[in-house]
Structures are given as C-alpha cells and as structure tokens.
Structure 1
Amino acid sequence: MLTLLEKISDLNDLVLQGKALEAFEKYYHDEVVMQENENVPTQGKAANRQREQEFFSAITEFRGAHPLKVTVGEGITMVQWHYDYTHKNWGVRNYTQVSVQEWQDGKIIKEQFFYGN
C-alpha cells in the first residue's frame, strides 16, 4: 500500500506530465468536495470532473507548473504550486497556490485551493 507521500508525489508527477484528469480519476474519492479559496465548494466526483474539464479546456497557452513544496501529515497533504498559463476568460495567470488535500480510504475526500486574486 502506498504512503500518502508516494500518492501525492505520483499525483503531482501525473499533473506535470499533462495527465491531471487521469490523476483525478485515480486519486479522488467519489464523494470529493473541492473548493477555491472561500468560494462555494463543488460536491461530488462528477461535478468536480466537469469543473476540471472546463478549466483545462479553457487554457489557451500552458507555460508551466512546478510543485515548490510538499508536506504530508496524518490524513492530509499540502502542495505549494507555481502556475503560469493563459486562460481564455482570465488572461495571463502567473501565481503561487497552496492545495490542501484531506484523504479518506486512500483517496482525496476534500481539496481546497488557496491563492491570491
């Protein structure tokens, strides 16, 4: 059985390979709740899959993503990412984000993203 460090490292590697949706299918719980900052959370894997697909389809130029720091605790992981891309609705985005993942039954049950606007 993989440790949380091994799981989050594999998930990050999949994202870096352009396989974020594959990582989503592999590591996210059916009941996952995802939330951007303090916005209303999105409930369930189907709704979050659609949200992820819409996000990735709106990227018009991808210049890079780099995990800067990874932290693992009991049932929780955190990754500080740096992203650089152009989004068709938001324009150029070049920023640092912290993603906090809560794990249950070997899958991410809750993820919240923290970043400046």
Structure 2
Amino acid sequence: MTEAQIQSSVEEIVTLALSGQGLEAWEKYYHPDVEKIDLDGISIQGKEKVIAANQTLLGNITEVRTFVHAGTVVKGNRSFIVWDVDFDVNGLGTINTVEVCIQDWQDGQIIKERFFA
C-alpha cells in the first residue's frame, strides 16, 4: 500500500469518525489481527474485541464538548491522526486532551493502533 493510498484511507476514517460512523471505519479498515493500545496502556487483540471495546467506550460517553481532527501525517506504512477531544465517560470521568493515534498498516488495513496523549 502506498503512502497516497494510506492517506486516502485515513481521510475516509476521519470523515466517518466525525460523522458518527466509526463502526463503518472499523469494519472496513481494521485487520482481523489488529492490536489496539488505548490511553490506559491495555492491549486488546483481534478485530471483534477491539470493535466491542470501541463500542463500549462510545456507549458510555455522556457529553461531547469537542471532537476535532487536528492533523494527519503518513510516512511509510504508518499514519498519525491527531484528535482534540473533550468528553465525559461514565466510569472514567472527563477526557480532555490532544491525542495522537498511531496506526501501522498491513494489507490495506490497520494491524496496530496506539493512542498517546
């Protein structure tokens, strides 16, 4: 996959996420063997488990004040998406941060995704 193809895929992911269609992005772009490491440092492995964890998080959001795409970089088979977020989550409290989502791509899909703030 070329950098231009990854860039196009990332642009679609951002568009889907901002329009509330994260599930569609995850179904299309997560590799079956994807590993996700969120801000808590816990590793989740496998597409079904990662999607379930994402849906649980989204289902526990009680208020969104900010959800903005702040930038993207693609280099080689790695993409970096910067998000500016401010929302409340049941059981976690307020998440108000600028985070970087680092994605490693394999066979046209995300094989590893990590979040840092």
Regarding TM over 0.5, the answer is yes
Q: CA deviation at 1:37?
A: 4.3
Alignment size in residue pairs: 115
1:39 aligned counterpart, secondary structure? coil
C-alpha distance in 2 between matches for 1:85 and 1:18: 15
Change (3 A) 1:38 1:52: closer
Q: Does 1:39 align with 2:69?
A: no
**TM-score relative to the length of structure 2:** 0.91
Q: Which has the higher contact order (CA 8 A, sep 6+)?
A: 2
Structure 1 unaligned spans of 5+: none
Aligned-pair CA distance for 1:67: 1.2
Deviation at 1:107, TM superposition (A): 0.3
How much identity, in percent, do the aligned residues show? 33
User: Separation in 2 of the partners of 1:40 and 1:94?
Assistant: 19
Q: How does 1:1-117 map to 2 (within 5 A)?
A: 3-37=5-39, 39-115=41-117
CA deviation after TM superposition for structure 1 residue 41, in Å: 1.1
- Match of 1:3, SS? helix
CA 1:64/1:37 → structure 2, altered by over 3 Å: closer, same or farther? closer
RMSD: 1.5
Deviations 1:15-70 (A, max 9, x none): 00011111111111010000024723111001111111110100011223111110
Structure 1 segments (4+ residues) deviating >6 Å: none
